[in-house]
Amino acid sequence: MLKPEDNEKLTRVGPGTPGGEMFRRYWQPALMSSELPERDGAPVRVRLLGEDLVAFRDTEGNVGLVDAYCPHRRAPLFFGRNEECGLRCVYHGWKFDRNGDCVDMPSEPAGTPLQARVKLRAYPTHEAGGLVWTYMGPKENMPAPPNYEWLRAPKTHCYVSKTYQDSNYLQGLEGGLDTAHVGFLHSDPRNAVTRLSALDKSPRLDVEVTDYGYYYVSHRQIAADEKYVRIYQYMMPAQQMRPSVVSSYGEKQEVPTIDGHIWAPIDDEATHVYNIIYSYDANTPLTEEFLTEEEAFFGRAPEDYIPGTFRLKRNASNDYLIDRSLQKQGNFSGIVGVNTQDMALQECMGKITDRSKEFLGTSDRAIVTMRRLLLEAIKTVEEGGQPRGASPAQHAGARAFDDIVRPSVPLEKLLEEAVAKW
């Protein structure tokens, strides 16, 4: 159970809120690089942490992320002209570069001192892993850009997609850190990981807090002398990485991958989920055939999206196209797509669920720890400190891992594999 006042702190992310100020101390994904495919191309609307922004790629190829409204008369800059290293408002021609400086004011007399005083709110950006990242906190506290292992993988070995979720970020994050639900919600004869999870539906969790968040080890007894062990990584504030290496027969997958998500709050009631797949084996790139199968399995194939959006066709308005006959045939939920199954449960809890009404069990240890760490980070920021996990030096060496092992194998041996190779 979470007290209502703590739930408010964790779920409200707008400017000036405790949770929002905490999130602003970390680099956040603002949009996909592919959303800005060309220099001087069309601007893109961005809403992040409750702020309306506009992104554009300038003449030199750099990405600007600025206030969505011109500081003159608050005209929307989405309609602006992206030209000659700046975004020009079409209302009166005022032009701003990616740093927010006004570089032209043609509707005012030449040499006007007003031009030097006008500033458009702008945030620094960094491109890596197919994403445009931004830092929205105080400049004096800005850490170096993120350095997760998947950001260092070659482009041939990493793939990122994006999905809109109609709920607060915390519901998604909690689902991503909950290993116990895998043997139920995602149970399907076609899913190798869930077949293993179904052999022991009550996993034992060991949670170890780190300087970037935590890792936890999930133990499932699948035979008298064998355990299925998964090591999850939680990188603060809202990233999860999990392994997908071992098949249902204890063999390594043909394409050994690590998967994960970043839940980037649009505002208090909506989230963009960035879905990550990467191969940690230098000799095994991600093929187009493999990615096509994976994205279809998760419910993120191109045909699963409403055209021109990041919203799924299977959504609350049509009950995620639940198939009751399929549910009786082995698909535990009756919903197609692993991530769609997650979304159905998380969105239908409500925009922001009331955690004062919940009853947590031993399998929820990872969720309880995550909430505690986020509340700790909020307090640290309120006291003027730098929160856990903000520095890339803290998270650079972490990766996920899974294997089928004998109980006699020490945990230290497994943790040697949960160290970044790229």
pLDDT digits (tens, 9 = 90+) for 167-221: 999 999 999 999 888 878 887 766 666 677 777 788 888 999 999 999 999 888 8
pLDDT digits (tens, 9 = 90+) for 72-102: 999 999 999 999 999 999 999 999 999 999 9
**Average pLDDT of every residue of the chain:** 93
Q: Tell whether pTM > 0.85.
A: yes
CATH number of 28-134: 2.102.10.10
- CATH entry, 149-415, from 3.40.50.300, 3.30.390.30, 3.90.1300.10, 3.90.380.10: 3.90.380.10
Does the pLDDT at position 300 exceed 60?
A: yes
CA-based nearest residue to 268, from 25, 23, 2, 3: 23
Taken in order 66, 67, 69, 71, the sign of the CA dihedral is: negative
Does the pLDDT at position 339 exceed 70?
A: yes
**Rounded distance, CA 222 to CA 104, Å?**
68
pLDDT digits (tens, 9 = 90+) for 142-161: 999 999 999 999 999 999 99
Annotated domain spans of the chain? 28-134, 149-415
With H, G, I as helix, E, B as strand and everything else as coil, classify residue 93.
coil
Residues 88/104, Cβ–Cβ less than 8 Å: yes
Mean pLDDT in residue range 334-356: 95
Does the pLDDT at position 249 exceed 50?
A: no
Q: Which two tokens stand for residue 244?
A: 């997908």
CA-based nearest residue to 230, from 222, 239, 218, 238: 218
Mean pLDDT in residue range 315-344: 94
Does the pLDDT at position 247 exceed 60?
A: no
Residue 216 burial class via C-beta count within 10 angstroms: exposed 0-12, middle 13-18, buried 19 and up: buried
- Looking at residue 250, its pLDDT comes to 47
Mean pLDDT in residue range 307-335: 94
